[in-house]
Structure 1
């Protein structure tokens, strides 16, 4: 019983005291403690810093709270972002070009800020506290956003052609808008990483559950965004912009309450007295750079130890092995960096080629909210004799297809493939990402074929010179490319989330998820850059370029084929990188 009490409350015992205990007492104590010790989860504590039991903490009992928080956050975020361009061109009276530029800049910034939030969380504050602070900022920002819509305008009469917004209103709106971006930058990577922390990767059952967590996490994300797009957009356009921005603020209040409610069941990563992972990894690169003239024969004994203690190939990123020796090339002194530090650094470095090869995928996915919508705006969107489908509403089919396909993936595909591969997640994370990249390439080809038919129809009916004319071709022709885009997300997006979380050092899980999010942000910027280059390159001699204001005179289909080619090249690059990738744990995922 003494050992039991000391194990639970982490009381140190002197070695001589342990030696004084007889064999009978030790054997009996071990037998008593064995079930309890097996139920303890290593490396985690509860909210009071005490050891936690597997049966009463973490796993799905905690994940449900966290997934619910993400559903609410995505509802709030898409409640603002999905209709932002309408508010900018409407009440704020900005031109379409200016509004589109502002939306793209804000969206790209929002996708990159998680790197900042994740760094703050992993290096200083911790994920739990970062989520609480980000939620409070979120609530404040959304409340200010709603308040800014209630400020008086500068219009003197109903026929005012200029912006009806006062300068203070515009300033407050954009400050609030970027506060929203900053808040979600701290909220999004930390919530997902904290959710994955609730599963013990060393337990086979919880390892399988963690793979399912990433699936159902994205299920909830898409569900929240779909409801937010439909409900909040309708309220904003038909009732009140103030109410439309205020409701997300109220939703975030409930999200914070929900998160705090689950506190007693959460597992928290145990704090160590070691230097932070960022410091350790940075030191490896600094020491390797300082020792760049060191011969590999000097490093050889350490390299052999590195290969012995780790399943990694010591020749992979071999230059980092130079951090294993001191600056004077002495093998007798303590090494500047440990083998574990070098292995952590290599694990981070191995993800960079994967990151680069996925950028084309993010560029392709950016078209779903821009050119796909422009295509739909020119087509027959009528249902019956009175109702007309908004062109942007087809974006919701991406989320709907994700919701349906993730259910099928997790309940059918994973169990079937698991019996063949003996891998807990059915297929490896890299195989999953590659499958999605291939599907996105197919989606671009399909989009190009549909656009070619749309242009042919416009020509047949003599509508080429009428940009405002409705092409007698149903908008439902666009559904396949939207559904394929959703299918690619089920594989690539969820796969990237799991990979960038799983393969980062334990202290940098949030940074790993922020790296995945940065792929989408950089992809948006690359898409805008590519459009500008193509427009300037293909326009000349008085003729419209591929991307024209009059879509009927443009050749968006050629642009789609270009994207398909870029995506195919990226897929080949990805396959090459993935084949040489070595997981940072000796298990296939």
Structure 2
């Protein structure tokens, strides 16, 4: 039997090449003298700004890598899951659970290596070597992916999902005046021959008219296909759009959590505290975020190898805990992390006042920076629980043809949360510095009130948790949602 060409596979293969080009171009900006500005004059403390011919290659490399990462990440997660997804396997859910856990853990480990080994190389051997090694690794990765192409399971390509979504909306608008068919008249709905759904679900009922067949002679071809897909859509197209609409509320619950994870004041706090672990060993301020990554990796390994197996005996769920439960636990940990962060920062500010160094931005307090570890551990747990749970939630809820859309939504969530976080910081700075007062987020942390910012994030996390619980009330599992539609009787399938 011939192997079908997967759209995800073709996208990954072509985008890999794009990403590699971006990495190589970035490396060239560090190697080719003509692509670098002149050296700074140390005596006059002046540096020459880069010209257009120097800045364009740098920005182009960022653009290529951004587009590459935006395409590779959603496709790679789902393409990997396709290799393990076997509905005939009774342990299929457990296999996918393990895959998603270790995929995210491997991502965390790679981040850990990038923040330690690669940064060390860049600091000690320069940018040319520091950028060259990742470029070589990326070329090697792309070659391995292409060489193994004959071994992959490649799903059959389908029509553009987003074109189908627009077709449903247009068809529903065009047929807005027609009457709904009676419940038992399921033959009035257009469906493909492979479909097991006879009629659409009741959610978003206003869209159901898009797949109502009014005149089979004019609306259907001899093959049973829609003669005009912008006027008549299939039940499958309709249900795919509904699946996307139904997860948007649950998708939005991750925004506050990711804002919490991405807030970048931890390094500034650590820099103002005693970072000595032993008398002759001091932890770099920028390395405290590694506690979050280490926690995430340890939790994934412990949960997948030990805890999930124990919980499965009591819950009857081979995954141990359902994705929804893990998402909720992640939101709880995010709230706890901000409470701990607020308490620790309050203690740190009080210590700065007691030592009389509130006006000194470079002062190092006689307070151990290890106080920051509990909040980073909680943030690591929050990310491990919520992120993996949400990715798996999307993969399980969406139809097979939409699985990469689910992971793309998670990537979009991270990007949007980053913008929201930046906007929140700017708003807080603007409001709290009004009238010449020191901002909560002043450059000198000892003059500001970073603890108030953490309390605010904690409050937002608490509201977000209640919002999540509200969304859960209206959530129906993928199995129950399918049961709402009439299925083809066994004798017809």
Shorter-normalised TM range: 0.7 to 0.9
Verify the 8 A CA contact 2:342 2:451 in the aligned structure 1: yes
2:308 pairs with 1:422: no
Shift of 1:262: 2.9
Deviates more, 1:314-323 or 1:527-536: 314-323
Q: Tell me what 1:571 maps to.
A: 465
Change (3 A) 1:188 1:583: same
1:219-263 superposed Cα distances (whole Å, 9 cap, x missing partner): 111111101110110111121111101100011122123223432
Q: Tell me what 2:248 maps to.
A: 352
**Residue number among 178, 183, 207 corresponding to 1:320 in the alignment:** 207
Change (3 A) 1:516 1:253: same
Partners of 2:272 and 2:40 lie apart in 1 by 36
2:74 pairs with 1:189: yes
SS at match of 1:214: helix
Shift of 1:299: 7.7
Q: Tell me what 2:12 maps to.
A: 131
**Residue number among 49, 69, 72 corresponding to 2:3 in the alignment:** 49
Change (3 A) 1:400 1:189: same
Verify the 8 A CA contact 1:142 1:248 in the aligned structure 2: yes
Change (3 A) 1:159 1:294: farther
Shift of 1:488: 0.8
**Residue number among 402, 411, 414 corresponding to 1:517 in the alignment:** 411
Shift of 1:280: 2.7
Partners of 2:423 and 2:395 lie apart in 1 by 29
Q: Tell me what 1:288 maps to.
A: 172
- Alignment gaps of 5+ in structure 1: 1-8, 10-47, 51-123
Q: Tell me what 1:17 maps to.
A: none
2:278 pairs with 1:388: no
Shift of 1:276: 3.4
Partners of 1:435 and 1:345 lie apart in 2 by 29
Partners of 1:521 and 1:384 lie apart in 2 by 38
When the two structures are superposed, what TM-score results if normalisation uses the length of structure 1?
0.73
Partners of 1:169 and 1:305 lie apart in 2 by 59
SS at match of 2:299: helix
Q: Tell me what 2:453 maps to.
A: 559
When the two structures are superposed, what TM-score results if normalisation uses the length of structure 2?
0.87
Partners of 2:50 and 2:403 lie apart in 1 by 44
Verify the 8 A CA contact 1:298 1:331 in the aligned structure 2: no
Q: Tell me what 1:153 maps to.
A: 37
**Residue number among 218, 221, 225 corresponding to 2:104 in the alignment:** 218
- How do 1:403-414 residues align onto structure 2 when only pairs under 5 Å count? 403-414=297-308
Partners of 1:486 and 1:156 lie apart in 2 by 40
Partners of 2:178 and 2:449 lie apart in 1 by 56
Shift of 1:525: 0.5
2:129 pairs with 1:248: no
Partners of 2:398 and 2:110 lie apart in 1 by 28
Verify the 8 A CA contact 2:198 2:235 in the aligned structure 1: no
- How do 1:357-372 residues align onto structure 2 when only pairs under 5 Å count? 357-367=253-263, 370-372=264-266
Q: Tell me what 1:162 maps to.
A: 46
Q: Tell me what 1:476 maps to.
A: 370
Partners of 1:586 and 1:316 lie apart in 2 by 13
Aligned pairs, how many? 463
Change (3 A) 1:456 1:194: same
1:445-489 superposed Cα distances (whole Å, 9 cap, x missing partner): 110010000001101111111111111111111001111111011
C-alpha root-mean-square deviation of aligned residues, in Å? 2.8
Partners of 1:159 and 1:519 lie apart in 2 by 47
Partners of 1:303 and 1:448 lie apart in 2 by 61
Partners of 1:284 and 1:156 lie apart in 2 by 59
Partners of 1:145 and 1:582 lie apart in 2 by 47
- How do 1:11-26 residues align onto structure 2 when only pairs under 5 Å count? none
- Alignment gaps of 5+ in structure 2: 191-195, 221-225, 227-231, 483-493
Q: Tell me what 2:327 maps to.
A: 433
